[in-house]
Amino acid sequence: MSKLLTIKQVAEALQLSTSKVYELVSSGRLEGYRIAGSLRVGEDDLKQYLEACRIRKPQPRVRTNRVKLKHLRV
C-alpha cells in the first residue's frame, strides 16, 4: 500500500486549493479514502491522476505522396 496523504498535502503538491482537491475527490477524478472521517489520497492514486492529466506531444504526421487529380468536367 502506498503512503496516504492529507488533502492539504495533495493541494500543496498540485498547487491547488484544498476545496479544489475535495472537488476532484468527490467527482471521482481523483481517488481517495475516508478514514475516521478524514479524507486521504494515496501517493499511487495521485501519480495515476497526474499521468491522466499529462499533455502529450502529438505525433508528427507522416506525409505521403499524394496523387494530384485533375478536375473532371461533367
Residues 21-73 have pLDDT tens digits of 999 999 999 999 999 999 999 999 999 999 999 988 887 777 777 666 666 66
State residue 2's pLDDT score: 85
How many domains are there within the chain?
1
Rg (CA), the chain: 23
Domain that holds residue 34: 4-53
Let me know if residue 74 belongs to a domain. no
Global pTM? Answer: 0.73
Let me know if residue 48 belongs to a domain. yes
